Structures are given as structure tokens and as C-alpha cells.
Amino acid sequence: MTPSDRTGLTRPFRTTLVAGLLTGLSASGLWAADPAELAGDPHLSVVPRTEDEAKRIAGVTAPATDFSEPEPFEGNPAGAATVRVLPDSNAFSQFSANLSFEQELEFKVGNGLFRKLWVSAPSSTLASDGLGPLYNARSCQRCHLKDGRGHPPEGPEDDATSMFLRISVPAPEGGEMSEIEAFLLSIGDETPRTRPDPVYGGQLQDFATPGQTAEYRLGVAWEEVPVTLSGGETASLRSPTWRADDLGYGPLAEGAMLSPRVAPQMIGLGLLEAIPAADILAHADPADRDGDGISGRPQAVWSFDHHRPMLGRFGWKAGAPTIREQSAAAFAGDIGISTPVFEAPWGDCTEAEAACRAGPHGDGDERGTEVDAEGLDLVTFYSRNLAVPARRDMDDPEVLRGKQVFHDTGCTACHTPKFVTARLEDRPEQSFQLIWPYTDLLLHDMGEGLADNRPEGAASGREWRTAPLWGIGLTPQVNGHSYYLHDGRARSLLEAVLWHGGEAQPARDRVVEMPPEDRAALVKFLESL
């Protein structure tokens, strides 16, 4: 039985073909038709909230009204899991403060697997072989540098290890549909469907093991775009044009759509996973019924672990429902490593890349796959428990002023400050915590300037998931750069704000027009997160 037979899929890494981890819903689709379908949390062992708890949660998550001093518990953005701020680049690499001694050991073993450098098969180190044959990085850590953000290449000689291009083509009319596509069609979702490139698959890999040919080299051209601000200030935005250069297997298919992605930071993922789906859906307004111009939409994805649609939470377009499935997809697409979720040992290689599929792989021992269930669970545990550092300078008068500017400007319409996680039977470290992630985990139209023009599930080419802001001010300390947004184009927090368009255009324009002192305070607040 082949790996594809074992999964029941013709290709194991289904970035766009099944829409697997990337399938969503439109405003008239699943969310509107059956919100209960997404409101469940099959990945969590939830203890139902009492009526008293619900009232308390409503109180503590209510919007701030007093900006003269910090709110209670604001200094601990991850609740009891919050850790102190280290003065070096390891600030994002700490384990949650409320782990037990035994869990600390599990975290450290998972960290070892996260940092492991994989080698090509066959190798004398059976537990470490199976790389590729096509891949973007040799380890998780090579993309998520110091558990933080990746970066784009600065020039033709710079590497692109911590970013890549996703690729898809329009689906032909009347073609075969996957289970999830048929499901979405049955409930009225009309989002254009996509397919992987027939030769290059759903993701371009720029490295290859010996004897194989890499798929491409990432190319980019930058153009400076000036922006005039109030008070005589100016800013310059760098606008990228992304290219797939030095293609190894011929031209891309007609109509190919490319989407650049840098690796996001890893902190706080377990707490985001523990937010009740119903609480996230409560912020959704797909038809903008309240008329505020903000129409956050939930992404629905197919869970291969739970065999049902689930709310998407992880990835730049909320393409994965759980940390485990996100990790498995990264093993397959980024490193070419098989797991019990995606069992094919050749990762994203297509049938057209016959040499890749026929090459040596590392799944021939008793583990069954190159990373077995235990290994995947350890990496998942590690990723779930990377801690959020405490706030800095939150009682500084300028930071408090910036917090009020953040609220008054309308930023909290998408960057929801607070949630309370579910009460959980089996994960006390994430259970019933007041957290401050500054995200609603919903999809929003961010305008033409940030558009990749590549639909992903129900997300249009203009939509992106609201990025969590906790820890964002520590990026220069952790990663030695200040590159933000999905492709790292913004070189500062102010540039990131100025790139906002679409639903965020009014808020962005208010930032442009506000007094320079308020702009500086806003940035100071963001740096304190």
C-alpha cells in the first residue's frame, strides 16, 4: 500500500488541491448556514462554562474605557503562562511559566526535534533521514528563526530560507471535487476553487537533495513608494514584485498565482488554539450587518485528524485548524518529511516530478513515517507551549496615550485585545486564562496594496487573517530585524500600519492625518506589546 493509499488522497500535501488546510467559507456559505458546524472544538476537552463564568468573562473582556493606567492583569498577556522578558534573542524560546517539571522535559525534547537538522536518505542516522527530496529548509528552526519571524531576501545574493512562495492555478470547470469542496458547494459557498500547479505542486521548494533539481530561486524587485504624513513628516513604503526565477522543471502553468509567505513568530499558539471557536465566531460579521465597514469572516478548513470542517486559526490566511495539523503540513511542504497526518515521503512533489517521487526516502523503518506520531506530538507540545513574554513599559504615559490612540483609531475592530480561553480538562497550562493576543483570528479584506490575488479556500486574494500583536515589539531583539506583514515588506511598525487598506483604510488614514505626537505614541504602544 502506497502512502497516498494510506491517506486516501492522491497527494498527501494538499495545500490547494483538497484545499485541505486552506479551505474556507464565504459570507453566504458555511458560517451563515450552520455556525454550529464551526463552533465546536473537537481538538479540546472542554469543561462547559457556568453562567457565572460567562458573566465574569464578559466583564473582563469588555473594551477599555480608562486609559490613565493599565488594566488589571494587562502586564501578563498570556495569563499564568506569561514569562519574564529575557534581554537577548532567546526571548521567544521560553516554555510557559505554568508547566510542570515533567512537562518541561517534554518541551525540551520537542525543542530538540524542532531544531533537528534533517539529512537525505539513506543515512546511518535513521531517526534523522528523509529530507526532501525537495525542500525549503532542513529544520523547523531554520524558518522560524529563534522561534520568531522570518525575513525576505534583501538582494539577489541573500537567501530566502525563512520564506517561500505558495502557488496555485484556477480549477477547471466541472473537474473532480474533493470531499471538502463538495461539502462547501452543498452549503452555497461560491469562492473560486484553485488547484496546485500540475508540475510544481502547491508550494515552490528552492533546495534539493543530491541528484535532484530544485524547483526555483526566489526573486524580488523593490520599489520605494513615498507617503506624506501630517506635520511635515514622510514615510517610504517598499513595494515588492515577487518572481519565481531559475525554474527547474519548465514554465509555470498558465494562470499560475504566487503568494509570498515569511515564517511567523511561534509564541502563544497554544493559547490561540484554546480560545473557544464560539467566542471567535461571535466577532464575525461577514455581511457587515452593523455597517462599520469591518466584515471579519471565519475560515473553515478540513481537519484530517478529526475528519470534519473546523475553524481555521493558524497561518497567514487561517489555513490550519490545529497546531498539530499546521506542524504536519510544514513537515511535508517545507522539509519533505512524512508524518501520520501526511504520509507520503516525497512531500509536495507531483507525479510530474518523477525523480523526486522515485528517490530514496526515510520511511522504511519501524516508525512507518519519517516523523512518527510520538515525534509529531512532541513538536506539537513544544509549539503549543512557547511562552509569551510580559509587557514592557505599560504604565509609561506615552504608552498609555498610544493605547488610547490604538482604540480611538479603530484598530481594535480587528485586533481584538482580550479573550478568555476555554476551561480544559487536560491542558491546565492553557485552561481558563485571560489573554491579550490582539487578534480576532478572522479574515479581513486588507486592500489591493497587500493583495496576493490568490484565493485560498474562501479567502479572496485581498483577505488575510488578523495577525496577533503580542510580542511584536521584541522582533528586533529576537530576530535582528524589524520586517513585518506576510511577506516582510514593512521595515517598521509604522510602515506596517501604512500598508493597511480595504477594511482598515479608514483607520490607516486616521494614522496618516493624526498629529505626529499621537503617531509616535501609537508606535510606542505597539513596541510595548
pLDDT of 293 reads: 94
Q: What is the largest CA-CA distance in the chain?
A: 68
The listed range with the strongest mean pLDDT (262-271, 293-302, 354-363) is 262-271
Report which of residues 34 and 350 the model is more confident about. Answer: 350
User: DSSP character for 123?
Assistant: -
pLDDT tier at 159, thresholds 50, 70, 90: confident
pLDDT of 10 reads: 30
pLDDT of 121 reads: 86
Report which of residues 13 and 425 the model is more confident about. Answer: 425
pLDDT tier at 174, thresholds 50, 70, 90: confident
Domain positions in the chain are 3-528
pLDDT tier at 301, thresholds 50, 70, 90: confident
Q: 3-state DSSP call for residue 329? A: helix
Q: How far apart are CA 332 and CA 312, in angstroms?
A: 19
pLDDT of 190 reads: 66
Contact criterion met (CB below 8 Å) for 382 and 270? no
pLDDT of 187 reads: 56
Q: Is the pLDDT of residue 176 over 80?
A: no
pLDDT of 8 reads: 31
Q: 3-state DSSP call for residue 307? A: coil
User: DSSP character for 223?
Assistant: E
How do residues 456-486 score in pLDDT, each as one tens digit? 887 889 999 999 999 999 999 999 999 999 9
Q: Is the pLDDT of residue 419 over 80?
A: yes
Q: What is the mean pLDDT of residues 295-314?
A: 92
Mean pLDDT score of the chain: 91
The listed range with the strongest mean pLDDT (157-171, 265-279, 349-363) is 265-279
Phi, psi of 241 (to 5 degrees): -120, 115
Q: What is the chain's Cα-based Rg?
A: 22
What is the H or E stretch that residue 240 is in? strand 234-245
User: DSSP character for 335?
Assistant: I
Q: CB count, 10 Å around CB of 56? A: 14
Q: What is the mean pLDDT of residues 182-194?
A: 68
Residues in the chain: 529
Q: What is the mean pLDDT of residues 421-444?
A: 98
Q: Which three cell numbers stand for residue 198?
A: 500540475
pLDDT tier at 183, thresholds 50, 70, 90: low
State pTM to two decimals: 0.93
Q: 3-state DSSP call for residue 331? A: helix
Q: What is the mean pLDDT of residues 153-171?
A: 88
pLDDT of 529 reads: 98
SS (H, E, C) 154-219: CCCCCCCCCEEEEEEEECCCCCCCCHHHHHHHHCCCCCCCEECECCCECECCCEECCCCCCCCEEE
Beta bridge partners of 165: 260
How do residues 8-50 score in pLDDT, each as one tens digit? 333 333 333 233 333 333 333 444 434 457 889 999 999 999 9
Q: Which three cell numbers stand for residue 260?
A: 509570498
Q: What is the mean pLDDT of residues 192-198?
A: 89
Report which of residues 363 and 346 the model is more confident about. Answer: 346
Q: What is the mean pLDDT of residues 243-255?
A: 97
Q: What is the mean pLDDT of residues 271-279?
A: 98
pLDDT of 34 reads: 47
pLDDT of 300 reads: 85
Q: Which three cell numbers stand for residue 282?
A: 461571535
